[in-house]
Amino acid sequence: MSDSDDHPRRALYGRRKGKPLRAGQAARFDDLFPKLKLDLSAPAPGDIRALFAEPVEALRVEIGFGGGEHLLHEAETHPGTGFIGIEPFVNGMAKALVGIGERGLGNVRLFDNDAALVLDWLPEASVSRLDLLYPDPWPKKRQWKRRFVSDANLKRIARVLRPGGEFRFASDIDTYVAWTLDHVRRSPDLVWTAERADDWRLPWAGWPGTRYEAKAKREGRVPAYLIFRKG
């Protein structure tokens, strides 16, 4: 699919499942996941706060949350905000489900398929912040079409963000960072907020870190932290 294609990607690339789930993880898929999974067959509610068991005043989305470390930290730190976490990898979803159950979080909903479907389903200007953290870089040129950052998906992100809302991107792959900056420059709706080098070299306030970030640093790669704002 080219970047100019406005239709959502139905194909998911990469692994859907790794090692077998532990008994507790499998149990959470049976008892908790059906309660938290978004049902996109029905229209999104006019008031997006109705998606959550607890009262919330804002909505955030995290695409590709891995094992859920950042999602769980943010949901626990900001109980007045609703979170939609998207992760097609079964083992990552299982870890997040266990964490949600242990913490008793009522401000999280989940989706295990293509994030573009959720972005097309959500109401316009309903999201205060969207995070894309350490996404698969698909480093070979023939794989670049698989990268989530594309002209079409940036349109989707801009549509769901509120005025002043933020799209946050973190990666340790410099070519993907450059790719993202180049694509955002073409967007009429998103502006890079950096004013000095530390604005992309240092994590944003409250950043808890992730296991992917720790691995990157151990292997000598330097992460970048980009914030884009909807005008």
Q: How far is CA 172 from CA 73, 175, 195, in A?
A: 21, 9, 20
Q: What angle do CA 149, 76, 205 make, to 5 degrees?
A: 60
Main-chain dihedrals φ then ψ at residue 66, nearest 5 degrees: 65, -125
Q: How far does CA 34 lie from the centroid of its chain?
A: 20
CA atoms within 13 A on the CB side of 128: 12
Residue 180 tokens read as: 């993202």
3-state secondary structure (DSSP) of residue 40 = coil
Beta bridge partner(s), residue 83: 60, 108
Active site residue 131: no
| Residue tagged active-site, from 3, 120, 136, 151 | 136
Question: Which residues are the active-site residues?
Answer: 136
